[in-house]
Structure 1
Amino acid sequence: MGGWWDRNIVEPGKLPLFLALTAFILTFLITRTITRMIRAGKGPFRNVTPGGMHIHHVVPGIILTVIGGFGVIGGYGHGFGSGLSAVLFGVGVGLVLDEFALVLHLADVYWTEQGRQSVEVVVLTAALVGLMLLGFVPFGVNGVTDEEQADRLTVIANICLNFLIALIALVKGKLRLAVIGAFIPYFSLVGAVRLARPTSPWAKRFYRERPKARARSRIRAYRHDKRWDRLGRRFQDLVAGAPSR
């Protein structure tokens, strides 16, 4: 355990990332707890409405993200300033992404079905930053050997191939597999070789004259969503609260 900590956390450049990720996750969980209490009318917390205008927490989130981001860029080593900037950045990003759906729709959809998009983005962001903390590099660069690193063409070809596979998975409508596959190429490869989702650009382009492929795509998407969406919604409701009916 100590070796893993020294290798992945204490090593130069990893501690600020660890602090930012921890602050990000804690901020999201604490914010959701407070908003759920406000929604239920419990506890001392209330919406901030100076002059009758509701100030959403995305506003202080943007401010903290700006301060922390510039602080991280200007920081160095393991100094206190670098760590503090990383924490401020993590807190700011947690506040901003908790209202990602609000920013996306330009409407207060926090407790609606559209508000689930915020939870999905937070979970995906935490997973990707966690992979970076463990040493994964986008598009499989971390899997290149020392001999291959000496050959720039091999490295470039490896990056381009992994990027192309992730892009195919994305065009096929497999967003989660494509994003995670940017760090672990196996995931994007699975998304690239499987049938595209029926509403994806790939299906609209290549399944137009293939009715059997369109039908299989719809059936597979229906079965997948039926199997996993309910589980995902239960997890989201447990962590972030259920949308209003």
Structure 2
Amino acid sequence: MGHWLYRNIVEPGKLPLLLALMSFVVTFAVTRVVTRMIRAGRGPFGNVRAGGLHIHHVVPGVVLTVAGGFGAVASGREGFAAGLSAVVFGVGAGLVLDEFALILHLDDVYWSEEGRKSVEAVVLTAALVGLLLSGFAPFGVNDLSQDEIADRGTVIATVAVNFLFSLVALSKGKARTAVFGVIVPVIALVGAIRLARPGSFWAKRCYRHRPRARARSRLRAYRHDRRWAGPRRALEDWIGGKPDPSPARLPGPNRH
């Protein structure tokens, strides 16, 4: 394990990236635990306020992200300063993306249905960074044997093909399939072959004059969402907490 870590992480200069990913995931997990305790009224934690203003944790997150980013640029890829900057950046990124939905909607939607976008952003970011560390980006490793060069060349070629399939899947409106398809070739291939989701770039360009394809696309999307919406919501609730129920709206045009 130590030899693999040195050859694939330390020697190529990926240790700061590993530290950033670990601090990112830990920060998100700790933040969600603390916010869920505040929501439940448990523990010694509470919302941070200054002069009656609620200070969201995205604010210190932005400060830490900027400080860690500039520190990483100034320190390079090696040394204690690089590792420290990576940790600071990871902590800041974890705080920022935990409130990604707030930035997107410019509203405090943390515990609402729209707040689920924060969990999705964190999961996708962690998956992408993990991809760089998992050996699928094996650049910067020195003194490789011919067999190792051949193996890594095969990996790089495979990733390149998977990446093309993933781009097709992304154009078909399948973001999660595109991300995880880079790691698992079958996922990328299936996502690239199957029908595009309604409203995606692919559907708008390729299904404009194909009404049967548009109808099949809508039907497939409906069946897929009906089948997987429940498990996906349960997983997101387990990771980020169950959102508050949406307020009931009065029927009719004069509900105000």
Give, in whole Å, the separation in 1 of the partners of 2:60 and 2:46: 16
Q: Measured at CA, do residues 241 and 76 of structure 1 come closer, stay the same or move farther in structure 2, by a change above 3 Å?
A: same
Unaligned runs of 5+ in 2: 139-148, 246-256
CA offsets per residue over residues 57-85 of structure 1, 9 Å max, x none? Answer: 00100000011111111223541111111
**Greater displacement, 199-208 / 86-95:** 199-208
Alignment-derived partner of residue 72 in structure 1: 72
Alignment correspondent of 1:152: none
Letter in 2 for 1:40: A
Letter in 1 for 2:66: V
Residue 94 of structure 1: aligned partner: 94
Query: Secondary structure of the equivalent of 1:103?
Result: helix
The normalised TM-score by structure 1 is 0.84
Give matches, 1:198-237, under 5 Å.
198-237=198-237
Judging by fraction of residues, say which structure has more helix: 1
Equivalent AA in structure 2 for residue 237 of structure 1: D
Aligned to 1:84: 84
Corresponding residue pairs, total? 232
Report Cα offsets for 1:15-49 as digits up to 9, x if no partner.
Answer: 11111100000000000011111111111111111
Counterpart CA distance in 2 for 1:181 and 1:92 is: 28
Identity of aligned residues (%): 65
Poorly superposed stretches of 4+, deviation over 6 Å: none
Deviates more, 1:190-199 or 1:119-128: 190-199
Structure 1: runs of 5 or more not aligned: 139-144, 150-154
Q: Is the 8 A contact 1:166 1:188 kept in 2?
A: yes
**TM-score (structure 2 length as normaliser):** 0.81
Shift of 1:178: 2.5
Aligned: 1:48 with 2:44: no
- What is the deviation of 1:186? 5.4
What CA deviation, in whole Å up to 9, does each residue of 1:142-162 have, x standing for no partner? xxx77xx8xxxxx9xx96x76
Distance in 2 (CA, whole Å) between partners of 1:190 and 1:73 is 39
Tell me if the contact between 1:69 and 1:85 (Cα under 8 Å) persists in the aligned partners: yes
Relative to 1, partners in 2 of residues 1:128 and 1:56: Cα closer, same or farther, differing over 3 Å? same
* Aligned equivalent of 1:141: none
Is 2:34 aligned against 1:26?
no
